[in-house]
Structure 1
Amino acid sequence: MVLVNVHSDGQPIIINKDMLTWYLLSLKLRQKFQTKNQHSEPVQDPNLHGLPEVTRPNQDQNVQNHKQSHSESGKEVVEERPEETTGDSWVISIRDKLEQADRDDDTTIWGKLCIYRVPHYLQENDKKSYFPQTVSLGPYHHGKKRLRPMERHKWRALNKVLKRLKQRIEMYTNAMRELEEKARACYEGPISLSRNEFTEMLVLDGCFVLELFRGTVEGFTEIGYARNDPVFAMRGLMHSIQRDMIMLENQLPLFVLDRLLELQLGTQNQTGIVAHVAVKFFDPLMPTGEALTKPDQSKLMNWLEKSLDTLGDKGELHCLDVFRRSLLQSSPTPNTRSLLKRLTRNTRVVDKRQQQLVHCVTELREAGVKFRKRKTDRFWDIEFKNGYLEIPKLLIHDGTKSLFSNLIAFEQCHIESSNHITSYIIFMDNLINSSEDVSYLHYCGIIEHWLGSDSEVADLFNRLCQEVVFDPKDSHLSRLSGDVNRYYNRKWNVLKATLTHKYFNNPWAYFSFFAAVILLLLTLCQSFYAVYAYYKPNSKL
């Protein structure tokens, strides 16, 4: 059968019906074949444009090597096999990490370490006490946004030094470049600053610190600063700068300051001068309650000079360490033995349950312990004699928490440091549990504070030692604490204290007691005479 169709141009087109039937049948077969092989890679028949795609029976072997097909929940997922180079790079990265671990395990690097990052467990309660608020010194807080306003004043100080001494900046940068590697070794962890940035930081921060020290000794107006200078003048901002310079993460190695001072003075071997001046600069932060007198300063300087000469490598010191030693001054002999014991003892885990050295003030008073202020400038020097616990006066102000926090952090991090400050703070923390304890110590003249209330002082000590790891056996107050606890456990002392607090708590109670005793004696005498006269009426006495 033949069908005739007419083209658009009027020419007839003859179509065979049988051919059309076979064509449609073959098209149906192609569609069914495609649905059965839907997981195969489809290719397009080059001879049938516009018709459905058919499956290539022989797929490329290379494609099969790089791609695998599998079904997950009815969905087709195509995975690519990892290349061989991926495994090699992974092994290389592991080897790099092991090499870095070997470098980090170099004990010679640890020996120079003295400026640490505050451990996170100490920062949880109060980060403000450990981070500078006004000025940055060293690389840890260099470039922080809140500290950038002080940078232009550092450059003013450096420019003032160069003009005053008529020196070139290259002399300072070359000297600091020589000390760069030694200075980097003093800091914990990697420093992100480049060599030039680190050298610039040492010069800029070091000259700024020396200008503060020199202005404190000679007077800022005498070295070229105006009376109304926004930074280099003895006003409120100076106290904030002093507090920042005592923070553990905000330190410069002392040998850097010594070298810069030598360049300014034009002489060699000036080690020790910076430490001496630093003691005077930080004197307002002393928690002893009184400023150092001239005899005390002379005595302190002589001891400090001997201490700095005998401690070992002076490059391991910084302003915080110098300030700490000025607080301790001449420690008694048992402290040295305690330090040696700490360095040579077997490692053991500290039990937090044993950090209770003594009972609180209220409990000790109930056991008969009396408190008295001790007249000494060493605030940590506590004694216990004949039931009297003698404690030196302690001044507490708004910077005391930051000061003690950083001193504790340094003693926690630096293995070669004693733990005298930590021992003292924990001892005071044991004594103070409430505002009543603070009030009584204030009554005895032991604590003087400028805070809002006694409860704030109690909260300060309780928070200072909240996360501190401490072994009482290494404390220089361990023997004293044992004596106090033995006195506390005596029943007779508790009985005497109970009688005193309940029945003899005022002078009239003593008069009443003696009057009652006299009346009792007279009554006994009268009774005796009456009985005696009854049994022997004729006898004469």
Structure 2
Amino acid sequence: MILVFKKLFDKELLAWYFITLKLKETIEANLCKPQAKPIARPIPLGLYKSNPLLKPALTPQPLPPPPLDSPWIISILEKLEQGRQYEASSPWETQSIYRVPKSLRDVDQTAYTPKILSLGPYHLGRRRFRSMDRHKWRSLYHALDRTKHDIRHYLDAARFLEDRARSCYEAPISISSDAFVESLVLDSIFTLELFRCDTRKGFLDLRYSPKDPIFGDCNIILSLKSDMIMLENQLPLFVLDRFLALQLGDKYSGSALVVQLALRFFDDLGFNNEHLPSDPNYNAGSSEALHCLDVIHHSLVPRRKSDRKSASCPRRSSLYQLLARAVNFALTWPCSGDFGLPKPPVEKIGIRLIRCVAELREAGIKFRRNRKSDRFWDIKFKDGVLYIPRLIIDGGTKSRFLNLIAFEQCHLECGNQITSYFSFMDDLIDSEVDVGYLHDKGIIDHGLGSNGAVADMFNRLCREVVIDPNDCYLSELSEQVNRYYNKKWNTWRASLTHTYLSNPWAIISLIAAVVLLLLTAAQTFYAVYGYYKPN
């Protein structure tokens, strides 16, 4: 047995010996062959760091830097110089008339595009506005003939204000200097003529014919007003102020007359600005307002002088806040999280501020019209009652408020109260049932034909709008409503009220059921009592 095992063991050793010998001959034969020079391929730095078996000799050698006169380096230096010039010019510091962002325009193409009147350079020269351009030239001639002024005085004033006016527009203005100055004079004089013709006295003073196709037609004037409050259809207010001073005298320069004319002109569009004249802290001067849309925004959400002076920096939109907090998190990341330090706060974009009307009613929350305030955004919550001022909605409401929301999204200093209000109302209104209930309570008064159209309007107003709930003036009120909603007792009480106390017959049925239950309980008691104590 031992001899057999020994022979087998020797055979295995012999086999391994021959295999090793054959492998050695093969390797030596390959080494003796001439080898082609290997192509040097750079090894990724990440692969070298993750694989410690790679030898340092195999690491890629750094490539020599490209020469300074190479086309690539020259193009990069040119782009850096353009960035330096753009940073030095700081055009965003003076911008106030913006192009509507594409994300907002895609929601409603018609809400931001003027229909019959073009003001400013954004829509200048389009064919659809040529018929109104003829009336602009007619009004300019009428104004010069009435005042006996030379057109060169207005051209010189516009030339002096050209650079300042160009800086108010967001997109680069490619039209020539002469065309820009001409459009400033033509559009500004036409706007001032409309402002001053809005009253009967002004109409008589300007001596227009009662049958004038523009100044004598109320329907055309109403359509012009809708176009004049669009974000892309604005003129700088200081230009209007300068031309009005040329017409009336230098004593009116820098006054609030242009603002008052604009407020009176747009008064019948449904914007409530009756509180402005009685507000002593509100500066309605043209030095504060930027353009007509900003004047309307002031009238809806007045900003006080003390607030502007005390603000060390303009309010940033939630997108800028997100970027700033992301950078802050990246800089402080090694010192946060696991080390016990607080993490940067997270934005709550896309979260509903509040539940819809139908759900809030199930929790016992009531809705009442706030008759103590005429400002539609002045919402209060007290003792389970949500007080909301009346809002009047017509066919042009959607376009007006969409432009105001777009202005708040683009301009960093005007706040976000209108956007916050409509975001709040968008959360409240999910269907035509919610609109019908608010209409019955006198909160929403509309003439759109159906409650579904109103619900669709609210659901579209804040689509593609970026808003931070923490930066919303209704966030604290929403938290109070949500706390009230989350209390189970309020839900149970509301369910009892809706089920058994909603109408007189239900109340009578409930009383009858309670009396029957008491009588049954008494009968059962006396039956059991008589069984144990028959006497």
Equivalent residue for 2:475?
Answer: 478
Match of 2:399 among 395, 402, 415: 402
Amino acid paired to 1:324: H
Task: Give distance in 2, aligned partners of 1:448 and 1:522.
Answer: 50
Task: Give distance in 1, aligned partners of 2:175 and 2:277.
Answer: 36
Q: Once the two structures are superposed, what CA deviation does each residue of 1:163-186 show, in whole Å capped at 9, x if it has no partner?
A: 111111111111111111111111
In structure 2, relative to structure 1, the CA distance for the partners of 1:90 and 1:525 (3 Å cut) is closer
What aligned pairs does 1:501-512 form with structure 2 within 5 A after superposition? 501-512=498-509
Match of 1:391 among 388, 405, 411: 388
Amino acid paired to 2:256: G
In the TM superposition, residue 203 of structure 1 has moved relative to its aligned partner by 0.8
In structure 2, relative to structure 1, the CA distance for the partners of 1:386 and 1:282 (3 Å cut) is same
Equivalent residue for 2:295?
Answer: 322
Q: Once the two structures are superposed, what CA deviation does each residue of 1:418-477 show, in whole Å capped at 9, x if it has no partner?
A: 000000010011111111111111111111111131111111111111100110110000
- Verify the 8 A CA contact 1:304 1:329 in the aligned structure 2: no
Q: Once the two structures are superposed, what CA deviation does each residue of 1:288-326 show, in whole Å capped at 9, x if it has no partner?
A: 6xxx7xxxx3x41243883345xxx92761100110111
- Verify the 8 A CA contact 2:314 2:412 in the aligned structure 1: no
- Verify the 8 A CA contact 1:258 1:274 in the aligned structure 2: yes
Equivalent residue for 2:441?
Answer: 444
Task: Give distance in 2, aligned partners of 1:252 and 1:89.
Answer: 44
Higher alpha-carbon Rg: 1
In structure 2, relative to structure 1, the CA distance for the partners of 1:460 and 1:167 (3 Å cut) is same
In the TM superposition, residue 93 of structure 1 has moved relative to its aligned partner by 5.7
- Superposed CA RMSD in Å reads 3.0
In structure 2, relative to structure 1, the CA distance for the partners of 1:536 and 1:352 (3 Å cut) is closer
Equivalent residue for 1:38?
Answer: none
The TM-score, its normalising length taken from structure 1, stands at 0.75
Equivalent residue for 2:81?
Answer: 99
In structure 2, relative to structure 1, the CA distance for the partners of 1:226 and 1:478 (3 Å cut) is same
Task: Give distance in 2, aligned partners of 1:536 and 1:115.
Answer: 94
Q: Once the two structures are superposed, what CA deviation does each residue of 1:203-239 show, in whole Å capped at 9, x if it has no partner?
A: 1101111111101133424421122211112521111
Amino acid paired to 1:248: L
- Verify the 8 A CA contact 2:348 2:470 in the aligned structure 1: no
What aligned pairs does 1:29-178 form with structure 2 within 5 A after superposition? 95-106=77-88, 108-178=90-160
In structure 2, relative to structure 1, the CA distance for the partners of 1:88 and 1:536 (3 Å cut) is closer
Match of 2:321 among 337, 347, 356: 347
Equivalent residue for 1:262?
Answer: 245
Stretch moving more, 520-529 or 457-466 = 520-529
Stretch moving more, 479-488 or 443-452 = 443-452
- Verify the 8 A CA contact 1:117 1:248 in the aligned structure 2: yes
Amino acid paired to 1:257: L
In structure 2, relative to structure 1, the CA distance for the partners of 1:133 and 1:341 (3 Å cut) is closer
Task: Give distance in 2, aligned partners of 1:262 and 1:196.
Answer: 22
- Verify the 8 A CA contact 1:113 1:316 in the aligned structure 2: no
Task: Give distance in 2, aligned partners of 1:535 and 1:274.
Answer: 95
Task: Give distance in 2, aligned partners of 1:341 and 1:531.
Answer: 80
Equivalent residue for 2:269?
Answer: 285
Tell me the secondary structure at the aligned position of residue 203 of structure 2: coil
Task: Give distance in 2, aligned partners of 1:358 and 1:370.
Answer: 14
- Verify the 8 A CA contact 2:276 2:299 in the aligned structure 1: yes
| Unpaired stretches in structure 1, ≥5 consecutive residues | 1-86
Amino acid paired to 1:362: A
Task: Give distance in 2, aligned partners of 1:234 and 1:361.
Answer: 42
Equivalent residue for 1:13?
Answer: none
Amino acid paired to 2:93: G
Equivalent residue for 1:300?
Answer: 276
| Unpaired stretches in structure 2, ≥5 consecutive residues | 1-68, 324-345
Task: Give distance in 2, aligned partners of 1:506 and 1:339.
Answer: 57
Q: Higher strand share goes to which structure?
A: 1
Task: Give distance in 2, aligned partners of 1:104 and 1:276.
Answer: 37
Task: Give distance in 2, aligned partners of 1:109 and 1:335.
Answer: 21
Tell me the secondary structure at the aligned position of residue 483 of structure 2: helix
In the TM superposition, residue 503 of structure 1 has moved relative to its aligned partner by 2.3
In the TM superposition, residue 536 of structure 1 has moved relative to its aligned partner by 7.2
Match of 1:362 among 358, 362, 376: 358
Task: Give distance in 1, aligned partners of 2:448 and 2:308.
Answer: 32
- Verify the 8 A CA contact 1:432 1:438 in the aligned structure 2: yes
- Verify the 8 A CA contact 1:355 1:470 in the aligned structure 2: no
Amino acid paired to 2:443: I
Stretch moving more, 248-257 or 156-165 = 156-165
The TM-score, its normalising length taken from structure 2, stands at 0.76
Task: Give distance in 2, aligned partners of 1:304 and 1:91.
Answer: 60
In structure 2, relative to structure 1, the CA distance for the partners of 1:409 and 1:154 (3 Å cut) is same
Q: Once the two structures are superposed, what CA deviation does each residue of 1:382-418 show, in whole Å capped at 9, x if it has no partner?
A: 1111111111111111111111111111111111120
Task: Give distance in 2, aligned partners of 1:106 and 1:363.
Answer: 53
Tell me the secondary structure at the aligned position of residue 150 of structure 1: helix
Task: Give distance in 2, aligned partners of 1:220 and 1:95.
Answer: 60
* Count of residues in correspondence between the two structures: 440
